[in-house]
A and B are shown apart, each in its own frame.
Chain A
């Protein structure tokens, strides 16, 4: 049996190699399909791992308060999120910190150096919320916040980029033509947490950000804070904390007990869900491309196998005359299409691995992780394609009568 299979395999390889160019072009669809499947699965796996790692770094007792993007139209006079909310939230025992959160990008100039960086307009509670600390100098104080002071705390990496070996403390940098004095540098966190990457950013008082830099979404309401970042006191009580916060904010916004919220609360769990579903959508989309490519490749295999059967009608007749059964003929052509698609699959796997490697090398922000299951799945797909699309031509060949096949010119 194995012996017979080997001889059939030999015949298949011979006929495939007799038409190398044709075989290569036929396999192209399968090569691309399999490579796409491999890359998709690698990116999918990598992204999921990456997300998990980022969220575990962040700590999961962070809650964001903001006005929803798609505010319910039935709410007549929605109120912006302001410091009134922050102060009310700080009173709650289930909350350990609450800070305003307005993120903007600026170009920062110092002498001849100009760097673009992300600045967070906030207050000192941000350190408690995110577990950040000042390594050099100090954080800005309440007085500076009240007086719209032009002071700044730099992230560790930003300080290094702008100042190099020079001590940044007391130096003046220019943000959008407004001079700021560097009062402190944060300790390196080493991780880019979800939300704001402090190492590569900077902190300024939220008052200064709103009034002097005109930061934030709302350009009309000077009191509006884009978001409030809140740290729940206990991770296990995060749902209770959310209820407390909602009640406090409803109270501040004077919402009728039966009225709808004009704000929304997001915790990490909901971010994780969102990110995951985005990742799933992405995988699904690329997966469909892979599937379509495999189907197109399969049709190519079917086409070329039909050509091959026609071309070799006489050979089929000879084989039948000397004792091949219809089953023998069917197996021969099935093995041939299987060989063709598996060779395509193998090349696709190699192309997929190389593509993943190149993708990761030139797009460091993308995480991809090859897995054995991805390779096995795509190998399985290419084999299934070969059998599925090879069956009809093989069946057609096996139904020839020896006498008609022998007469074929």
Chain B
């Protein structure tokens, strides 16, 4: 029988195998940190999707059950509430449409590039955990839904983070509180630009590179921060967070400023993926824009 032979396995061969495995793992890590192995990873993720699915399923089922066995009264109340909210939002939207067309008209008058169109898709957050020292979530949209790396992810309140790994039917999103995440932001009130960096904590962001003379007037607690669009990944104008505290420490080169993210980062069940389509036909020739300047551009 085999075990008899295997018992003779000396620690010599064990050491050899271990050295081989150290070499294999190290070369894989090096390769991946240089940006290779992306496709290998997205294919291998097909193996682990069933594991994630099994963990996610009972939670989804319990949610489905609780919504199925809602009483009629509860549903009616919820319906009424939602309709009222819808009416309110539509009223706001009417104004927005008007402003949007006015904005497009003005931009055309100026000969400026029209703003990009956006497409949005809803994605479910899988109820699975990732190791606790980084802040990441897994969503159920992947390559088959044209998700791409670096894509912006938001919720109803504000920015959540960006896609860092696209797999076949799921993808990994790095939250903006992850300590490797940096996001160019802008203070709405004063236009001051800075970078919001995660700290690896649940609900905190650091604002970088603000020196003492400018912060006295241009930033204070309660200010709203939006994406500035400088990094290129994020479309400009999405709310990111509010300034929580401003610390003037003259011994430090920069002021210590902290912000609280607007989005419900760890409590979300659903998030929105954003596609920012570059405007195709209207943008290219500027003379065509000057021919009929009063015509409002239809943005879709």
Q: Do A and B come from one complex?
A: no
A interface list, Cβ under 8 A from B: none
